[in-house]
Amino acid sequence: MLEVQNLTRRFGERTVLHDVSFSVPANGMTGFVGANGAGKTTTMRIIMGVLKAHGGQVNFNGSPIADGDRARFGYMPEERGLYPKQQVLDQLQYLGQLHGMSRLDARSGALDLLDRFGIADRTKDKLESLSLGNQQRVQVAASLMHHPTALILDEPFSGLDPIAVDAMSSLLAERAATGVPILFSSHQLDLIDQLCDNLVVLADGKIVASGSAGELRDRAKSTHVLVTPPDAGWLREQPEVTVHDVAGPRAVVEFASEEAAQRILRTAIVRGSVTEFAPQRPSLAEIYREVIR
Amino acid sequence: MSTATQTTTPTATPTAVRQGSPWLIVTLREVTVKIRDKSFVISTLITLALIVGSIVVSGFMADRTTEATVAFENRGETAVLVSAANELAAKQDQKIVLTADPVASQDAALEALRTKNADLVLTATADGYSLTGLSDVPGSVEKLIADAASAQALESNAGKLGTSVESLTAGSTITPVLLEGSQERNSMSMVMGFIFSFLFYMSALIFGMPIANSVVEEKQNRVVEILATAIPIRQLLAGKILGNLILAMGQLCLFVGIGLLALSMMPTEIPFLSVVIATSGWFLAFFLAGFLILAAIWAAIGAMASRVEDLQQSTGPVIMVLVAVLFIGIYAKGTFLVIASYVPVISSVAMPIRLLSTDVPMWEPFASLAIAIAAAWAMVLLGERIYRRAIMQTGSALSWRKALKLED
């Protein structure tokens, strides 16, 4: 488990992180979202020790994180970069060795990952000769090959085609299943919704929501869809009901209580017919839009 | 600490415990990448060929005998002059041999020249002789014949005046005496000084510039963030400097070694070969210290730049220093050279040159080397400090002052 406690960071006069705290549990993936400039990259760089915090600390498995811990993390920086003029396999092997792998382990580990990403035939090519998407796959491989004890990935999915996104997702899910905490940032909310077990939302350097997906969904206001032909307009006059939207027979409403919901359902049946009455679970994307507002 | 990682893929190994030293991995990479670089290998081979070639050619030139066939209208005094010139050449140890080709007339002599049966035509004129060539009269031959002619004229004129050459030229002998070294040693030290200066200049550029380049390249494409999280930044820098140092020293040893080998295998005897070999050893030691200082500066410059293009500006002063070293090596003399031989970096060529040209007390090179090593140590610490702080800075290029003020 990776814990971020009360991180504060300034750049000159500007404070970009205010007392940021959240945790990245060891099972499952944690999505890190926020608008551009919210402080995601700064937070990740502090976790990786690339940047110093002006306050607060990072804990790994209960004790303050050390450089030795970080050396075994997998990190994908915001601005991508490997050696453009070096062969793909050679540089992966080099990075693996720097992470403490033996030459042979590094080589076979790299080949393994390149194979999973479908670029096993490009191992001898210089990185710069690969397409941007394929360079991105190599970058991902660089962060995963040494079997890291935690993964800090800044926008790992950006620039990947759907096939690569699938390969990447299943790889990450595998690693998460082995108990590796994974924190990744993304602007693709549908992906976050699909992959994440936890969510951390950052806005202007402050945490506005964090927790497991279930908790966040429960905490969010839940709405119901009620379809009651011929027209649902009458719902507007009912007490304890907030109507978000009415279109003909279909209405999206929020009930003040469970009793109110049951009462309205009975009324609707008495008034005519009910073809649909369903609670709507908000997606993480909706929760994000809600808290960011 | 973390628990052991379990993996789902059967081929995968558990996260390895750190093996060996990270700096060694960085060093090995620097070396292997360079050795596999075709342009580096080719330029090294070309330089080697140039070194061996120039030694062989100059040896050959020194050994070569100039031969010329001189045609002339067969009259007594001209034939005497040619044989006198040959005697003079033998006496002065000049490698010139003239073959006399007496012909019937002046026209026949010129015809022999045109048909290339003769190289030169010697003609007696009212006030001496003229020497005619087809398109060129070799200076050494002209001087030899002129010397012989003037000796001949001097003797015959002295005879006419009833005196002798000895009494005519009495009191005109000039014997060169040198207070420092000997003529031969000085010219040897000039040549070797030039070679040392040039080797230092070349190696410091060829292996120093790539340090700055690779540092800024890693900074520019952010791979340094991955490297810095994997290993301590100090080890990254150490590996980089060490790798280039090994390459530079390796190439230098190759150049100097092959050069000395070629020299010793030449048929002509090289004066002061033992001095040259001993000084070459000193030069390598001084090169090591000088290169370390420059390497630290190159690394700092690389870290302060934000793009490779920035280097064009910021490396200017270092290149100026290198050019200064080159010129001091070629031109410095006397007190100036003595002072230069104690200034780090410059001492890398100035001290070896002093050792070549005069007998320097044994403690001097040791003292100068100690100063250079101390300076290298200080510079590496400073360079490391700047590198560590500047390498993670994004945005525009930094000045030295700003870089020193940076916080971690």
The residue in chain A having the minimum alpha-carbon distance to the alpha carbon of residue B219 is: A81
Residues in B closer than 8 angstroms to A99, CB to CB, are 230
Under DSSP, the state recorded for A37 is: T
Smallest CA–CA distance, residue A215 to chain B, in Å, is 27
One domain for residues B192 and B153: no
Smallest CA–CA distance, residue A55 to chain B, in Å, is 14
Smallest CA–CA distance, residue B406 to chain A, in Å, is 12
Cβ within 8 Å, pair A50-B221: no
One domain for residues B138 and B194: no
Q: pLDDT > 90: what percent of chain A?
A: 30
A10 interfacial to chain B (CB closer than 8 Å): no
Among B1, B8, B18, beta carbon nearest to A174: B8
One domain for residues B157 and B238: no
User: Which of B165, B200, B216 is where one domain is finished?
Assistant: B165
Q: Which domains, and CATH codes, for chain A? A: 2-213 (3.40.50.300), 220-291 (3.30.70)
One domain for residues B45 and B149: no
**Is B8 a member of any domain?**
no
Confidence of residue B177 (pLDDT cuts 50, 70, 90): low
The residue in chain A having the minimum alpha-carbon distance to the alpha carbon of residue B32 is: A90
Confidence of residue A40 (pLDDT cuts 50, 70, 90): very high
Average pLDDT score over chain A: 88
Residues in A closer than 8 angstroms to B223, CB to CB, are 81-83
Confidence of residue A21 (pLDDT cuts 50, 70, 90): very high
Cβ within 8 Å, pair B8-A75: no
Half-sphere exposure in the Cβ direction for A208 (13 Å, CA): 19
The residue-averaged pLDDT of A54-78 equals 90
Cβ within 8 Å, pair A95-B232: no
One domain for residues B318 and B381: yes
A48 interfacial to chain B (CB closer than 8 Å): yes
Smallest CA–CA distance, residue B222 to chain A, in Å, is 5
Distance CA(A226)–CA(A204), nearest Å, equals 37
**Is B348 a member of any domain?**
yes
Distance CA(A203)–CA(A30), nearest Å, equals 17
CA-nearest of A281, A235, A232, A241 to A260 is A241
Structural domain including B113 reads 65-165
Under DSSP, the state recorded for B2 is: P
Smallest CA–CA distance, residue B305 to chain A, in Å, is 17
CA-nearest of A24, A26, A33, A27 to A58 is A24
**Is B309 a member of any domain?**
yes
The residue in chain B having the minimum alpha-carbon distance to the alpha carbon of residue A62 is: B1
> In this predicted structure, what is the pLDDT of residue B407?
63
One domain for residues B189 and B337: yes
How does strand A206-212 pair with strand A74-76? unpaired
> In this predicted structure, what is the pLDDT of residue B179?
60
One domain for residues B331 and B347: yes
Residues in B closer than 8 angstroms to A82, CB to CB, are 221, 223, 226
The answer to pTM > 0.90 is no
> In this predicted structure, what is the pLDDT of residue B309?
84
B28 has pLDDT over 80 = yes
8 A C-beta contact, residue B223 and residue B310: no
How many structural domains are present in chain B? 2
The residue-averaged pLDDT of B60-72 equals 78
B226 interfacial to chain A (CB closer than 8 Å): yes
> In this predicted structure, what is the pLDDT of residue B16?
41
Give the model confidence (pLDDT) of B201-226 as tens digits: 888 888 888 889 888 888 888 888 88
Would you call the peptide bond into B138 cis, given omega within 30 degrees of 0 as the criterion?
Answer: no
**Is B49 a member of any domain?**
yes
Q: Where are the alpha helices (DSSP H) in B64-182?
A: 76-91, 106-114, 139-161, 165-169
**Is B187 a member of any domain?**
yes
Tokens for A219, please give them: 């905490």
- Would the ipTM clear 0.85, i.e. be above it? no
**Is B4 a member of any domain?**
no
Distance CA(B237)–CA(B234), nearest Å, equals 5
B367 interfacial to chain A (CB closer than 8 Å): no
Distance CA(B5)–CA(A147), nearest Å, equals 7
Query: B176 φ, ψ to 5°?
Result: -70, 130
Residues in B closer than 8 angstroms to A84, CB to CB, are 221
Which residues 171-190 of chain A have a CB within 8 Å of chain B?
174, 177-180
One domain for residues B116 and B48: no
A143 interfacial to chain B (CB closer than 8 Å): yes
**Is B109 a member of any domain?**
yes
User: Which of B165, B198, B227 is where one domain is finished?
Assistant: B165
What length does chain A have?
293
One domain for residues B129 and B191: no
Q: What CATH number is associated with residue B116?
A: 3.40.190.10
One domain for residues B210 and B333: yes
B324 interfacial to chain A (CB closer than 8 Å): no
CA-nearest of B95, B94, B82 to B122 is B82
Among B8, B16, B392, beta carbon nearest to A105: B16
> In this predicted structure, what is the pLDDT of residue B408?
56
Among A84, A105, A179, beta carbon nearest to B221: A84
User: Which of B165, B196, B225 is where one domain is finished?
Assistant: B165
Confidence of residue B11 (pLDDT cuts 50, 70, 90): very low
One domain for residues B130 and B99: yes
> In this predicted structure, what is the pLDDT of residue B371?
94
One domain for residues B32 and B146: no
**Is B173 a member of any domain?**
no
